[in-house]
Structure 1
């Protein structure tokens, strides 16, 4: 049963909601209902309602996107499989994974769908790279997080060297190449997934970052439709502990991500150039 913990006012135009032990269907239904309410208020009364971040700890579930192919479910388990209306293929949600749903009015923000996706990927990059830099394990000092143009989400690479075109920076051209891996870069696997639904300019669904979840759940599927994709979790690359003062914990990572998204929502963090297809 879903437990609604708290609402937090982040700014005049953004609030967050915390949900734990959240069953998928009632959470999705509530998210869709809230989106429809906001659409109606804007169309009928011209009201701009605050955008919302839903911070969700889901009970174990596999979700299959709108165009999802059941062939990517490799075997049946006791975990429920639910068809949903987001983009993308099949994925898993469960405890130890941070899910954040972005209920945003894109038109009021002046964002395109591409902006939404890029802000989501870059927020994850920022937070994961900050964690890797400031709380690394001894063997992970050459690991960094990056998005890819050919496969939505965020991935960990070893020996990744950024190649930035100064003309792109000067022109603020977010569609040109940046964050391009060098020839020695090795993609280790995927640490975060994303999938959105846009309805009348309003977004819902969002992102999922593996923090300290049991990755075995992904063995029963082709994650996001990619056969053999290695799924990763942050706790295997950073020092994480609820007891050690110098270590990260789940709550700290969550707050870092909320803060980064809120700054982007408020226009305080601009998009970097988007990674090229690789």
Structure 2
């Protein structure tokens, strides 16, 4: 599959979850009004924050909401509860799937493929688990995926644990799966540099989706 699509990269860096969420909503609305607008690829990192998908149950939170002083948002993405923090690359593709393939399962598998191919470049072997969304190493998840698609315009995306403090995940049952853990790239190679990972991620995304990125 070859596309002549060009995606605009925005390597935003550190931004609050709320601001990034509102920005995505703005970009989606603009593209619903004008489908000829270019696609976007947003790369961000978030300060510590918990997010819940549409069908998330509060039973997967291990803390009492009444005494919780951190940030937590219920969003329109699919999937269960997850945690974002510094050292984790969060990728928000704003794509018009009319120009690719109007198939959500295809899109989810493509996002997983980006992570799998990226990790392979670091000699980290990862894989899918049938029936579960995301990317795994052994019994541990290294990348969580949760998307929202409105009239085939995508938002939300995936989070890849590069060199982050995983302790925040201990306060939740990540993605609602009891018998699994979370991991990060620096567990397998302590010399991994997050700036380089972002560069390789963009290149891999372009390759997997057969597009150009500017």
TM (norm. structure 1) is 0.71
- Secondary structure of 1:30's counterpart equals helix
Q: Is the 8 A contact 1:222 1:228 kept in 2?
A: no
Give the Cα separation in 2 of the matches to 1:239 and 1:132: 13
Aligned residue among 23, 26, 29 for 2:19: 26
Query: 1:271 corresponds to which residue?
Result: none
Give the Cα separation in 2 of the matches to 1:79 and 1:229: 24
Query: 2:163 corresponds to which residue?
Result: 212
Q: Which has the greater radius of gyration?
A: 1
Q: Tell whether 2:77 aligns with 1:126.
A: no
- Secondary structure of 1:132's counterpart equals coil
Give the Cα separation in 2 of the matches to 1:37 and 1:267: 21
Q: Tell whether 2:198 aligns with 1:254.
A: yes
Q: Tell whether 2:71 aligns with 1:71.
A: no
CA RMSD, 1 decimal: 1.7
Query: 2:48 corresponds to which residue?
Result: 60
Query: 1:95 corresponds to which residue?
Result: 86
Using the TM superposition, give the Cα deviation of residue 223 of structure 1 relative to its aligned residue in structure 2, in angstroms.
0.2
Query: 1:156 corresponds to which residue?
Result: 137
Using the TM superposition, give the Cα deviation of residue 92 of structure 1 relative to its aligned residue in structure 2, in angstroms.
0.3
Segments of 5+ residues of structure 1 without an aligned counterpart are: 1-10, 43-47, 134-143, 158-187, 241-247, 269-278
Q: Is the 8 A contact 2:40 2:95 kept in 1?
A: yes
- Provide Cα deviations, 1:126-183, integer angstroms capped at 9, x if missing partner: 11122125xxxxxxxxxx20012211000003xxxxxxxxxxxxxxxxxxxxxxxxxx
Q: Is the 8 A contact 2:93 2:154 kept in 1?
A: yes
* Structure 1 runs (4+) greater than 3 angstroms displaced: none
Q: 222-231 or 57-66, which moves further after superposition?
A: 222-231
Segments of 5+ residues of structure 2 without an aligned counterpart are: none
Higher relative contact order (CA 8 A, sep 6+): 2
Q: Is the 8 A contact 1:15 1:52 kept in 2?
A: yes
Q: Is the 8 A contact 1:122 1:147 kept in 2?
A: no
Using the TM superposition, give the Cα deviation of residue 254 of structure 1 relative to its aligned residue in structure 2, in angstroms.
1.2
Aligned residue among 19, 22, 30 for 1:37: 30
